Amino acid sequence: MLKSVSIGNKRCIMHTNKGQEQPVIVFIQPTARHENKSLPDEMAILDKNIHVPYLFIGIELDSWIKSLMPWADEAVSHDEEVGRHAINTLYYIEDQLMPWLKKHIGILPCVIGGYSLGGLFALWAAYSCNIFNGVAAVSPSVWIKNWIQFAESHVMKASSVYLSLGNREEYIRNKRMAAVGECIRRQHELLVSQLSALPTTLEWNKGGHFNDEAERMARGFIWSYTSLFNVPVKH
């Protein structure tokens, strides 16, 4: 069951699969109105496949692009505010959400995940601070300008990283976005060189960017759980 709660200065969507049982892992996902309709399906898949208590926190964002883009890119938006506020989203997680979690459930392994720009933000956040144990970056927008240069010059601070992409996403007319295939392969190479092959993976899903968002996100979190705990998931 999903419920809306206030944590600090934002509304969050919360779900737990085991009632009042103490969670053993936390999944954090930036969400927006266009994503919220897929969350019940995502939670149903997680509940079916993860048999330990977990807590899901969806951070509701007022502006998807402004809240998640780490820097400006005219191919994404010409709004001058884009690129200035992702740091505030990260500060919220560090300074408000994490202390709230520590107070209410203690210090637990945390996985940050997201879809599209949410996946890009998850990667950027885990490069930028060391509070996340895992990353589930699903169809991340790693095609934005200067991303690969950023990834090449920074060290991933999470200990496991899941990447995925639809197998049709690189076959589109927009040349900038079509570079996502080359970029995700390079991103995976960088992570393998830093983390080794075991704690990272690149999964190819059937379809384009807008197919099966709930299933793809759930698979990312499930893989992250199994990677961090080294426990096979029963299907």
Separation of alpha carbons 30 and 121, rounded Å: 9
Asked whether residue 10 is assigned to any structural domain, the reply reads yes
**Tell me, what DSSP letter sits at residue 96?**
I
189 HSE (CA, 13 A, CB side): 8
**Tell me, what DSSP letter sits at residue 154?**
S
State the CB neighbour count (10 A cutoff) for residue 14. 14
Asked whether residue 234 is assigned to any structural domain, the reply reads no
- State the pLDDT confidence band at 196, using cuts at 50, 70 and 90: confident
* Overall average pLDDT of the 178-201 stretch: 93
Model pTM greater than 0.75?
yes
Asked whether residue 84 is assigned to any structural domain, the reply reads yes
pLDDT for res 235 = 36
What SS3 class is residue 58?
strand
* Total number of domains constituting the chain: 1
8 Å CB contact between 23 and 54:
yes
- State the pLDDT confidence band at 132, using cuts at 50, 70 and 90: very high
pLDDT for res 20 = 87
Asked whether residue 235 is assigned to any structural domain, the reply reads no
What SS3 class is residue 73?
coil
Asked whether residue 117 is assigned to any structural domain, the reply reads yes
State the CB neighbour count (10 A cutoff) for residue 33. 10
Give me the residues paired with residue 1 across strands.
none
Which residue is listed with tokens 């060290």? 155
pLDDT for res 29 = 98
Asked whether residue 123 is assigned to any structural domain, the reply reads yes
Does residue 171 or residue 33 have the better pLDDT? 171
pLDDT tens by residue, 18-67: 888 999 999 999 998 666 789 999 999 999 999 999 999 999 998 999 99
Asked whether residue 233 is assigned to any structural domain, the reply reads no
In sequence order, which residues have a C-beta less than 8 Å from that of residue 207 and are 6 or more positions away? 166, 167, 168
pLDDT for res 198 = 77
Asked whether residue 154 is assigned to any structural domain, the reply reads yes
Whichever domain contains 163, its CATH number is 3.40.50.1820
Domain of 192, in residue numbers: 3-228
- Nearest Cα to 55, choosing from 8, 9, 97, 118? 97
- pLDDT of 226 > 50? The answer is yes
Q: What does the block give as tokens for 162? A: 């899941």
pLDDT for res 233 = 44
* Cα end-to-end distance, the chain, whole Å: 21
- pLDDT of 145 > 90? The answer is yes
- On average, the pLDDT of the chain sits at 93
pLDDT tens by residue, 101-131: 999 999 999 999 999 999 999 999 999 999 9
Q: What does the block give as tokens for 210? A: 């807008």
Separation of alpha carbons 146 and 154, rounded Å: 12
Q: What does the block give as tokens for 23? A: 């969670």
